[in-house]
Amino acid sequence: MDYLPIFLRLEDSHTVVVGGGAVAARKAELLVRCGACVTLVAPELGRAAGELIEKASGRIEHLPAEFSPEQLDGAVLAIAAAGSPHVNAAVAAAARARCVPVNVADEPRLSSFILPAVVDRSPVIVAVGTEGHAPVLARRLRGQLEALLPTRLGALARFAGLRRRAVHESLPPSERRPFWERIFRGPVSAAVLAGNASAAEALFAQELASSRAGGGRPRGEVYLIGAGPGDPDLLTLRALQLLQEADIILYDRLVCAGVLERARREAERVFVGKELPGSPGDEADVNAQEHIHELMARYVERGLKVVRLKGGDPFIFGRGGEEAEFLERRGIPFTVVPGITAALASAACARIPLTRRNLAGSVTLATGHRADSDALDWQALAGEKHTVVFYMSVSNMDEIVARLLAAGAPAERPAAVIERATLPGERVLRTRLADVAVRARAEHVGTPALLVIGEVAALGVGSVVRAAAEALRGVA
Protein backbone atom coordinates (compact mmCIF):
# COMPACT_ATOMS: atom_id res chain seq x y z
CA MET A 1 0.00 0.00 0.00
CA ASP A 2 1.74 3.13 -1.27
CA TYR A 3 -0.88 5.60 0.00
CA LEU A 4 -2.41 5.93 3.45
CA PRO A 5 -6.18 6.27 3.12
CA ILE A 6 -7.29 9.01 5.51
CA PHE A 7 -10.25 11.36 5.92
CA LEU A 8 -9.03 14.93 6.36
CA ARG A 9 -11.19 17.53 8.11
CA LEU A 10 -11.14 20.76 6.07
CA GLU A 11 -13.95 22.78 7.61
CA ASP A 12 -13.04 26.51 7.45
CA SER A 13 -9.49 25.62 6.36
CA HIS A 14 -7.56 27.60 3.73
CA THR A 15 -7.06 25.62 0.52
CA VAL A 16 -5.76 26.59 -2.92
CA VAL A 17 -6.78 25.36 -6.36
CA VAL A 18 -4.66 26.53 -9.29
CA GLY A 19 -6.56 26.65 -12.57
CA GLY A 20 -9.72 28.16 -13.99
CA GLY A 21 -11.12 25.41 -16.21
CA ALA A 22 -13.72 22.70 -15.75
CA VAL A 23 -11.34 20.32 -13.95
CA ALA A 24 -10.33 22.99 -11.45
CA ALA A 25 -13.99 23.84 -10.90
CA ARG A 26 -14.79 20.20 -10.05
CA LYS A 27 -11.92 20.04 -7.56
CA ALA A 28 -12.95 23.33 -5.95
CA GLU A 29 -16.56 22.17 -5.68
CA LEU A 30 -15.43 19.02 -3.83
CA LEU A 31 -13.47 21.11 -1.33
CA VAL A 32 -16.43 23.44 -0.76
CA ARG A 33 -18.65 20.42 -0.05
CA CYS A 34 -16.17 19.55 2.72
CA GLY A 35 -16.53 23.04 4.23
CA ALA A 36 -13.16 24.37 3.05
CA CYS A 37 -12.43 27.95 2.05
CA VAL A 38 -10.94 27.93 -1.46
CA THR A 39 -8.69 30.38 -3.24
CA LEU A 40 -8.99 29.80 -6.99
CA VAL A 41 -5.82 31.02 -8.72
CA ALA A 42 -6.18 31.72 -12.45
CA PRO A 43 -5.82 34.71 -14.76
CA GLU A 44 -9.22 33.91 -16.24
CA LEU A 45 -12.11 31.64 -15.27
CA GLY A 46 -14.11 29.33 -17.48
CA ARG A 47 -17.89 29.22 -17.34
CA ALA A 48 -18.05 26.30 -14.87
CA ALA A 49 -15.70 28.01 -12.42
CA GLY A 50 -17.57 31.31 -12.70
CA GLU A 51 -20.92 29.66 -12.02
CA LEU A 52 -19.45 27.77 -9.07
CA ILE A 53 -18.23 30.97 -7.43
CA GLU A 54 -21.75 32.42 -7.69
CA LYS A 55 -23.21 29.36 -5.96
CA ALA A 56 -20.50 28.92 -3.33
CA SER A 57 -21.83 31.52 -0.86
CA GLY A 58 -18.48 33.22 -0.33
CA ARG A 59 -16.53 29.98 0.12
CA ILE A 60 -14.46 30.57 -3.05
CA GLU A 61 -12.26 33.59 -3.69
CA HIS A 62 -10.92 34.19 -7.18
CA LEU A 63 -7.33 35.43 -7.38
CA PRO A 64 -6.90 36.70 -10.99
CA ALA A 65 -3.17 36.12 -11.35
CA GLU A 66 -0.55 33.71 -12.61
CA PHE A 67 0.64 31.19 -10.04
CA SER A 68 3.44 32.15 -7.65
CA PRO A 69 4.74 30.04 -4.75
CA GLU A 70 3.79 32.49 -2.00
CA GLN A 71 0.12 31.94 -2.82
CA LEU A 72 0.42 28.63 -0.94
CA ASP A 73 1.54 30.25 2.32
CA GLY A 74 -0.84 29.22 5.10
CA ALA A 75 -2.69 26.66 2.98
CA VAL A 76 -3.41 23.23 4.44
CA LEU A 77 -3.96 21.64 1.03
CA ALA A 78 -3.32 22.47 -2.63
CA ILE A 79 -4.59 21.15 -5.96
CA ALA A 80 -2.97 21.87 -9.31
CA ALA A 81 -5.37 21.74 -12.27
CA ALA A 82 -4.00 24.49 -14.50
CA GLY A 83 -3.97 22.51 -17.71
CA SER A 84 -0.30 23.44 -18.16
CA PRO A 85 2.33 20.82 -17.20
CA HIS A 86 4.80 23.60 -16.42
CA VAL A 87 2.44 25.39 -14.04
CA ASN A 88 1.30 22.16 -12.38
CA ALA A 89 4.92 21.12 -11.77
CA ALA A 90 5.64 24.52 -10.22
CA VAL A 91 2.64 24.14 -7.87
CA ALA A 92 3.84 20.68 -6.83
CA ALA A 93 7.38 21.93 -6.12
CA ALA A 94 6.15 24.93 -4.10
CA ALA A 95 3.80 22.73 -2.07
CA ARG A 96 6.52 20.21 -1.24
CA ALA A 97 8.81 23.04 -0.11
CA ARG A 98 6.13 24.20 2.33
CA CYS A 99 5.05 20.68 3.42
CA VAL A 100 1.58 21.31 1.99
CA PRO A 101 -0.20 18.19 0.72
CA VAL A 102 -0.69 18.54 -3.04
CA ASN A 103 -2.66 16.78 -5.75
CA VAL A 104 -1.79 17.33 -9.40
CA ALA A 105 -4.60 16.42 -11.80
CA ASP A 106 -3.70 13.31 -13.82
CA GLU A 107 -0.12 13.32 -12.50
CA PRO A 108 0.23 10.83 -9.62
CA ARG A 109 4.03 11.06 -9.67
CA LEU A 110 3.83 14.77 -8.75
CA SER A 111 1.11 14.28 -6.12
CA SER A 112 1.55 13.64 -2.42
CA PHE A 113 -2.10 12.58 -2.16
CA ILE A 114 -4.74 11.27 -4.56
CA LEU A 115 -8.41 12.21 -4.68
CA PRO A 116 -10.42 8.98 -4.64
CA ALA A 117 -13.76 8.23 -6.22
CA VAL A 118 -16.27 8.95 -3.46
CA VAL A 119 -19.60 7.41 -2.49
CA ASP A 120 -21.23 10.09 -0.37
CA ARG A 121 -23.85 8.90 2.11
CA SER A 122 -22.78 11.46 4.71
CA PRO A 123 -21.79 10.87 7.40
CA VAL A 124 -20.96 7.52 5.76
CA ILE A 125 -18.24 8.08 3.17
CA VAL A 126 -16.71 5.35 1.00
CA ALA A 127 -13.55 6.22 -0.93
CA VAL A 128 -12.20 4.08 -3.79
CA GLY A 129 -8.68 4.56 -5.12
CA THR A 130 -6.33 2.75 -7.49
CA GLU A 131 -3.19 4.71 -6.50
CA GLY A 132 -3.57 6.67 -9.71
CA HIS A 133 -3.23 3.64 -12.00
CA ALA A 134 -6.83 3.33 -13.20
CA PRO A 135 -9.13 6.24 -12.25
CA VAL A 136 -11.85 5.02 -14.65
CA LEU A 137 -11.86 1.69 -12.82
CA ALA A 138 -12.22 3.54 -9.51
CA ARG A 139 -15.25 5.40 -10.85
CA ARG A 140 -16.75 2.14 -12.10
CA LEU A 141 -16.33 0.56 -8.67
CA ARG A 142 -17.89 3.64 -7.10
CA GLY A 143 -20.95 3.17 -9.29
CA GLN A 144 -21.28 -0.45 -8.23
CA LEU A 145 -20.98 0.49 -4.56
CA GLU A 146 -23.56 3.25 -4.94
CA ALA A 147 -25.99 0.67 -6.30
CA LEU A 148 -25.46 -1.55 -3.24
CA LEU A 149 -25.52 1.09 -0.51
CA PRO A 150 -28.98 2.38 0.49
CA THR A 151 -29.68 6.05 -0.14
CA ARG A 152 -30.65 6.56 3.52
CA LEU A 153 -27.48 4.94 4.89
CA GLY A 154 -26.37 8.32 6.24
CA ALA A 155 -29.67 8.64 8.10
CA LEU A 156 -29.00 5.27 9.71
CA ALA A 157 -25.56 6.43 10.85
CA ARG A 158 -27.01 9.63 12.31
CA PHE A 159 -29.78 7.64 14.01
CA ALA A 160 -27.16 5.46 15.70
CA GLY A 161 -24.95 8.41 16.60
CA LEU A 162 -27.76 10.17 18.46
CA ARG A 163 -28.31 7.05 20.58
CA ARG A 164 -24.76 5.97 21.34
CA ARG A 165 -24.74 7.64 24.73
CA ALA A 166 -27.98 5.95 25.78
CA VAL A 167 -26.59 2.57 24.79
CA HIS A 168 -23.30 3.32 26.55
CA GLU A 169 -25.14 4.19 29.76
CA SER A 170 -27.54 1.22 29.55
CA LEU A 171 -25.32 -1.71 28.58
CA PRO A 172 -21.96 -3.03 29.77
CA PRO A 173 -19.08 -2.95 27.24
CA SER A 174 -19.36 -6.67 26.43
CA GLU A 175 -22.97 -6.27 25.26
CA ARG A 176 -22.69 -3.08 23.20
CA ARG A 177 -21.22 -4.53 20.03
CA PRO A 178 -23.73 -7.43 19.80
CA PHE A 179 -26.49 -4.91 20.44
CA TRP A 180 -25.40 -2.67 17.54
CA GLU A 181 -25.02 -5.73 15.30
CA ARG A 182 -28.67 -6.55 15.98
CA ILE A 183 -29.70 -2.95 15.30
CA PHE A 184 -27.90 -2.73 11.96
CA ARG A 185 -29.11 -6.14 10.76
CA GLY A 186 -32.63 -5.96 12.16
CA PRO A 187 -35.98 -4.22 11.86
CA VAL A 188 -34.68 -0.95 13.34
CA SER A 189 -32.31 -0.57 10.41
CA ALA A 190 -35.03 -1.57 7.95
CA ALA A 191 -37.39 1.06 9.37
CA VAL A 192 -34.79 3.85 9.17
CA LEU A 193 -33.84 2.91 5.61
CA ALA A 194 -37.52 2.88 4.67
CA GLY A 195 -37.91 6.42 6.05
CA ASN A 196 -40.19 5.36 8.92
CA ALA A 197 -38.66 7.32 11.80
CA SER A 198 -41.44 6.71 14.34
CA ALA A 199 -41.36 2.94 13.83
CA ALA A 200 -37.56 2.94 14.08
CA GLU A 201 -37.68 4.86 17.36
CA ALA A 202 -40.23 2.47 18.87
CA LEU A 203 -38.34 -0.64 17.72
CA PHE A 204 -35.06 0.75 19.05
CA ALA A 205 -36.59 1.43 22.46
CA GLN A 206 -37.96 -2.13 22.57
CA GLU A 207 -34.59 -3.60 21.58
CA LEU A 208 -32.72 -1.56 24.19
CA ALA A 209 -35.22 -2.43 26.94
CA SER A 210 -34.97 -6.12 26.02
CA SER A 211 -31.18 -5.99 26.11
CA ARG A 212 -31.22 -4.27 29.50
CA ALA A 213 -33.43 -7.04 30.81
CA GLY A 214 -31.04 -9.69 29.54
CA GLY A 215 -33.13 -10.68 26.53
CA GLY A 216 -30.65 -9.75 23.86
CA ARG A 217 -31.80 -12.38 21.43
CA PRO A 218 -32.04 -10.96 17.88
CA ARG A 219 -35.53 -10.35 16.59
CA GLY A 220 -36.47 -11.77 13.21
CA GLU A 221 -38.27 -10.00 10.39
CA VAL A 222 -39.67 -10.67 6.93
CA TYR A 223 -39.00 -9.03 3.58
CA LEU A 224 -41.75 -9.49 0.98
CA ILE A 225 -39.74 -8.96 -2.20
CA GLY A 226 -40.86 -8.82 -5.81
CA ALA A 227 -38.26 -10.57 -7.97
CA GLY A 228 -39.49 -9.02 -11.21
CA PRO A 229 -40.22 -10.89 -14.44
CA GLY A 230 -37.20 -13.21 -14.31
CA ASP A 231 -34.09 -11.45 -15.59
CA PRO A 232 -31.95 -10.85 -12.48
CA ASP A 233 -30.73 -7.55 -13.91
CA LEU A 234 -34.31 -6.25 -13.50
CA LEU A 235 -34.26 -6.65 -9.70
CA THR A 236 -34.62 -3.36 -7.87
CA LEU A 237 -31.66 -2.02 -5.90
CA ARG A 238 -33.62 -2.41 -2.65
CA ALA A 239 -34.29 -6.06 -3.49
CA LEU A 240 -30.59 -6.68 -4.08
CA GLN A 241 -29.67 -4.98 -0.81
CA LEU A 242 -32.10 -7.06 1.26
CA LEU A 243 -31.21 -10.31 -0.51
CA GLN A 244 -27.71 -9.72 0.85
CA GLU A 245 -29.17 -9.59 4.38
CA ALA A 246 -31.24 -12.79 4.17
CA ASP A 247 -30.83 -15.83 6.41
CA ILE A 248 -33.72 -17.75 4.81
CA ILE A 249 -35.22 -17.36 1.32
CA LEU A 250 -38.68 -18.77 0.64
CA TYR A 251 -39.15 -18.78 -3.13
CA ASP A 252 -41.63 -20.11 -5.68
CA ARG A 253 -41.40 -21.57 -9.18
CA LEU A 254 -41.43 -18.16 -10.92
CA VAL A 255 -38.11 -17.17 -9.32
CA CYS A 256 -35.27 -18.21 -11.61
CA ALA A 257 -31.85 -19.46 -10.53
CA GLY A 258 -30.16 -16.24 -11.67
CA VAL A 259 -32.17 -14.23 -9.16
CA LEU A 260 -31.32 -16.63 -6.32
CA GLU A 261 -27.62 -16.29 -7.17
CA ARG A 262 -27.81 -12.60 -6.25
CA ALA A 263 -28.67 -13.46 -2.64
CA ARG A 264 -26.24 -13.86 0.24
CA ARG A 265 -24.32 -17.06 -0.36
CA GLU A 266 -24.88 -18.37 3.16
CA ALA A 267 -28.66 -17.91 3.02
CA GLU A 268 -30.74 -21.10 3.10
CA ARG A 269 -33.01 -21.50 0.04
CA VAL A 270 -36.41 -23.12 0.68
CA PHE A 271 -38.69 -23.87 -2.27
CA VAL A 272 -42.37 -23.35 -1.40
CA GLY A 273 -43.98 -23.48 -4.82
CA LYS A 274 -45.28 -27.06 -4.90
CA GLU A 275 -48.69 -28.31 -3.88
CA LEU A 276 -48.77 -30.22 -0.65
CA PRO A 277 -49.03 -34.00 -1.16
CA GLY A 278 -52.58 -35.34 -1.05
CA SER A 279 -54.27 -31.94 -1.29
CA PRO A 280 -55.60 -31.42 -4.83
CA GLY A 281 -57.02 -28.23 -6.31
CA ASP A 282 -58.09 -25.21 -4.24
CA GLU A 283 -57.59 -27.06 -0.95
CA ALA A 284 -53.93 -27.57 -1.85
CA ASP A 285 -53.59 -23.86 -2.64
CA VAL A 286 -55.01 -22.85 0.74
CA ASN A 287 -52.94 -25.39 2.65
CA ALA A 288 -49.77 -24.43 0.82
CA GLN A 289 -50.32 -20.74 1.65
CA GLU A 290 -50.94 -21.53 5.32
CA HIS A 291 -47.79 -23.62 5.31
CA ILE A 292 -45.81 -20.62 4.00
CA HIS A 293 -47.29 -18.41 6.73
CA GLU A 294 -46.22 -20.84 9.42
CA LEU A 295 -42.73 -21.18 7.94
CA MET A 296 -42.25 -17.41 8.06
CA ALA A 297 -43.42 -17.26 11.68
CA ARG A 298 -41.24 -20.20 12.69
CA TYR A 299 -38.06 -18.71 11.20
CA VAL A 300 -38.77 -15.28 12.67
CA GLU A 301 -39.13 -16.80 16.14
CA ARG A 302 -35.56 -18.04 15.73
CA GLY A 303 -34.43 -14.45 15.14
CA LEU A 304 -33.79 -14.94 11.41
CA LYS A 305 -34.22 -12.58 8.48
CA VAL A 306 -36.70 -14.16 6.12
CA VAL A 307 -37.07 -13.18 2.47
CA ARG A 308 -40.34 -14.20 0.83
CA LEU A 309 -39.29 -13.94 -2.81
CA LYS A 310 -41.99 -13.83 -5.48
CA GLY A 311 -41.99 -13.45 -9.24
CA GLY A 312 -43.17 -10.06 -10.47
CA ASP A 313 -44.65 -7.84 -7.76
CA PRO A 314 -45.71 -9.41 -4.44
CA PHE A 315 -49.05 -7.58 -4.39
CA ILE A 316 -50.19 -8.41 -7.93
CA PHE A 317 -51.51 -12.00 -8.09
CA GLY A 318 -48.72 -12.97 -5.73
CA ARG A 319 -50.58 -13.54 -2.42
CA GLY A 320 -48.39 -10.88 -0.87
CA GLY A 321 -51.42 -9.11 0.59
CA GLU A 322 -52.45 -12.25 2.47
CA GLU A 323 -48.93 -12.70 3.80
CA ALA A 324 -48.74 -9.06 4.90
CA GLU A 325 -52.04 -9.44 6.77
CA PHE A 326 -50.77 -12.58 8.49
CA LEU A 327 -47.54 -10.87 9.56
CA GLU A 328 -49.48 -7.84 10.79
CA ARG A 329 -51.76 -10.05 12.93
CA ARG A 330 -48.77 -11.82 14.46
CA GLY A 331 -46.95 -8.55 15.16
CA ILE A 332 -44.02 -9.61 12.96
CA PRO A 333 -42.07 -6.70 11.47
CA PHE A 334 -41.95 -6.81 7.68
CA THR A 335 -40.89 -4.73 4.70
CA VAL A 336 -42.49 -4.78 1.25
CA VAL A 337 -40.23 -4.32 -1.77
CA PRO A 338 -42.12 -3.80 -5.04
CA GLY A 339 -41.03 -5.61 -8.18
CA ILE A 340 -41.67 -5.10 -11.88
CA THR A 341 -44.90 -6.99 -12.45
CA ALA A 342 -45.07 -9.42 -15.37
CA ALA A 343 -47.65 -7.44 -17.36
CA LEU A 344 -45.44 -4.37 -17.60
CA ALA A 345 -42.22 -6.28 -18.21
CA SER A 346 -43.67 -8.68 -20.76
CA ALA A 347 -45.35 -5.94 -22.76
CA ALA A 348 -42.17 -3.85 -22.73
CA CYS A 349 -40.08 -6.79 -23.96
CA ALA A 350 -42.59 -7.37 -26.78
CA ARG A 351 -42.56 -3.62 -27.55
CA ILE A 352 -46.29 -3.52 -26.89
CA PRO A 353 -47.48 -0.24 -25.32
CA LEU A 354 -50.32 -1.19 -22.99
CA THR A 355 -51.79 2.29 -23.46
CA ARG A 356 -51.66 4.40 -26.58
CA ARG A 357 -53.49 7.51 -27.71
CA ASN A 358 -56.57 6.63 -29.80
CA LEU A 359 -56.02 2.87 -29.27
CA ALA A 360 -56.18 2.16 -25.53
CA GLY A 361 -56.89 4.55 -22.71
CA SER A 362 -57.03 2.00 -19.89
CA VAL A 363 -55.53 -1.33 -18.83
CA THR A 364 -56.94 -4.19 -16.76
CA LEU A 365 -54.79 -6.87 -15.16
CA ALA A 366 -56.87 -10.01 -14.71
CA THR A 367 -56.27 -13.56 -13.59
CA GLY A 368 -57.00 -16.35 -16.02
CA HIS A 369 -56.60 -18.99 -13.34
CA ARG A 370 -60.38 -19.34 -12.99
CA ALA A 371 -61.68 -18.13 -16.34
CA ASP A 372 -65.17 -19.44 -15.56
CA SER A 373 -65.40 -17.12 -12.56
CA ASP A 374 -68.19 -14.51 -12.60
CA ALA A 375 -66.00 -12.28 -10.44
CA LEU A 376 -64.68 -10.72 -13.67
CA ASP A 377 -66.73 -8.15 -15.54
CA TRP A 378 -66.51 -9.71 -18.99
CA GLN A 379 -68.57 -6.94 -20.59
CA ALA A 380 -66.02 -4.35 -19.44
CA LEU A 381 -63.09 -6.54 -20.51
CA ALA A 382 -64.58 -6.86 -23.98
CA GLY A 383 -64.96 -3.09 -24.39
CA GLU A 384 -63.27 -0.96 -27.04
CA LYS A 385 -60.06 1.05 -26.61
CA HIS A 386 -59.11 -1.09 -23.65
CA THR A 387 -56.19 -3.45 -23.04
CA VAL A 388 -56.57 -6.61 -20.93
CA VAL A 389 -53.62 -8.64 -19.68
CA PHE A 390 -54.44 -12.10 -18.36
CA TYR A 391 -52.05 -13.77 -15.92
CA MET A 392 -52.01 -17.57 -15.50
CA SER A 393 -54.00 -17.98 -18.70
CA VAL A 394 -52.34 -20.84 -20.61
CA SER A 395 -54.52 -23.68 -19.31
CA ASN A 396 -57.78 -21.67 -19.59
CA MET A 397 -57.24 -19.76 -22.82
CA ASP A 398 -60.17 -21.40 -24.63
CA GLU A 399 -62.55 -20.32 -21.86
CA ILE A 400 -61.13 -16.77 -21.81
CA VAL A 401 -61.63 -16.42 -25.56
CA ALA A 402 -65.18 -17.82 -25.38
CA ARG A 403 -66.11 -15.43 -22.56
CA LEU A 404 -64.76 -12.38 -24.38
CA LEU A 405 -66.48 -13.28 -27.65
CA ALA A 406 -69.75 -13.91 -25.85
CA ALA A 407 -69.42 -10.49 -24.19
CA GLY A 408 -69.16 -8.77 -27.56
CA ALA A 409 -65.43 -8.58 -28.28
CA PRO A 410 -64.83 -8.82 -32.05
CA ALA A 411 -63.16 -11.98 -33.34
CA GLU A 412 -60.62 -9.81 -35.23
CA ARG A 413 -59.41 -8.01 -32.09
CA PRO A 414 -55.59 -8.35 -31.90
CA ALA A 415 -54.15 -10.73 -29.32
CA ALA A 416 -50.63 -11.63 -28.27
CA VAL A 417 -49.17 -14.37 -26.12
CA ILE A 418 -45.85 -13.48 -24.46
CA GLU A 419 -43.94 -16.51 -23.20
CA ARG A 420 -40.91 -16.44 -20.87
CA ALA A 421 -40.52 -12.67 -21.05
CA THR A 422 -36.97 -11.41 -20.22
CA LEU A 423 -35.72 -15.02 -20.03
CA PRO A 424 -33.88 -17.25 -22.53
CA GLY A 425 -36.44 -18.66 -24.96
CA GLU A 426 -38.61 -15.53 -24.85
CA ARG A 427 -41.30 -15.72 -27.54
CA VAL A 428 -44.15 -13.47 -28.74
CA LEU A 429 -47.07 -14.86 -30.78
CA ARG A 430 -49.41 -12.34 -32.44
CA THR A 431 -52.78 -13.27 -33.90
CA ARG A 432 -56.47 -12.42 -33.52
CA LEU A 433 -58.66 -13.12 -30.52
CA ALA A 434 -60.64 -15.91 -32.19
CA ASP A 435 -57.47 -17.85 -33.03
CA VAL A 436 -55.18 -17.18 -30.08
CA ALA A 437 -56.00 -20.32 -28.06
CA VAL A 438 -55.59 -22.62 -31.07
CA ARG A 439 -52.35 -20.90 -32.04
CA ALA A 440 -50.93 -21.15 -28.52
CA ARG A 441 -51.71 -24.86 -28.41
CA ALA A 442 -50.19 -25.48 -31.84
CA GLU A 443 -47.02 -23.62 -30.82
CA HIS A 444 -46.82 -25.54 -27.49
CA VAL A 445 -46.78 -22.37 -25.41
CA GLY A 446 -45.77 -23.10 -21.82
CA THR A 447 -45.60 -21.16 -18.59
CA PRO A 448 -44.85 -18.49 -17.62
CA ALA A 449 -46.88 -16.73 -20.30
CA LEU A 450 -49.26 -13.77 -20.46
CA LEU A 451 -52.17 -13.11 -22.80
CA VAL A 452 -52.63 -9.52 -24.06
CA ILE A 453 -55.95 -8.59 -25.69
CA GLY A 454 -56.53 -5.24 -27.38
CA GLU A 455 -55.63 -3.12 -30.40
CA VAL A 456 -52.14 -2.49 -28.97
CA ALA A 457 -51.36 -6.21 -29.19
CA ALA A 458 -50.79 -5.74 -32.92
CA LEU A 459 -47.93 -3.35 -32.22
CA GLY A 460 -44.36 -4.45 -31.71
CA VAL A 461 -41.02 -5.06 -33.41
CA GLY A 462 -41.39 -4.98 -37.19
CA SER A 463 -45.07 -4.10 -37.04
CA VAL A 464 -45.38 -0.79 -35.23
CA VAL A 465 -45.85 1.54 -38.19
CA ARG A 466 -48.06 -0.82 -40.20
CA ALA A 467 -50.29 -1.93 -37.31
CA ALA A 468 -50.66 1.56 -35.89
CA ALA A 469 -51.66 2.96 -39.27
CA GLU A 470 -54.23 0.21 -39.79
CA ALA A 471 -55.66 0.58 -36.30
CA LEU A 472 -55.90 4.37 -36.58
CA ARG A 473 -57.65 4.07 -39.93
CA GLY A 474 -60.16 1.75 -38.26
CA VAL A 475 -60.74 4.27 -35.45
CA ALA A 476 -61.21 7.09 -37.95
Model pLDDT, residue 351: 92
> Does residue 92 contact residue 102 with C-beta atoms inside 8 Å?
yes
Model pLDDT, residue 375: 79
Cα–Cα distance between 336 and 152 in angstroms, integer? 17
Homologous superfamily of domain range 14-115: NAD(P)-binding Rossmann-like Domain (3.40.50.720)
Q: Which class for 280: exposed (0-12), middle (13-18), buried (19 or more C-beta within 10 A)? A: exposed
Homologous superfamily of domain range 221-337: Tetrapyrrole methylase, N-terminal domain (3.40.1010.10)
Model pLDDT, residue 371: 52
pLDDT, tens digit, for every residue of 3-55? 888 999 999 999 999 999 999 999 999 999 999 999 999 999 999 999 999 99
Distances (CA, A) of 178 to 94, 168, 185, 190, 453: 50, 13, 11, 17, 56
Q: Which CATH class is domain 343-475?
A: alpha beta
Model pLDDT, residue 215: 61
> Does residue 450 contact residue 418 with C-beta atoms inside 8 Å?
yes
Q: Which class for 442: exposed (0-12), middle (13-18), buried (19 or more C-beta within 10 A)? A: exposed
pLDDT, tens digit, for every residue of 125-176? 999 999 888 889 999 999 989 888 889 999 999 999 999 999 999 999 878 9
Catalytic residues: 252, 274
Domain ranges for the chain:
14-115, 153-212, 221-337, 343-475
| Side-chain half-sphere CA neighbours of 159 within 13 A | 25
**Which CATH architecture best describes the domain 153-212?**
Orthogonal Bundle (1.10)
Contacts of 347 by beta carbon, 8 Å cutoff, 6+ apart: 353, 354, 389, 418, 452
Model pLDDT, residue 136: 92
Q: Which positions of the chain have pLDDT values less than 70?
A: 215-218, 274-286, 370-373, 460-476
Model pLDDT, residue 466: 41
Cα–Cα distance between 210 and 182 in angstroms, integer? 12
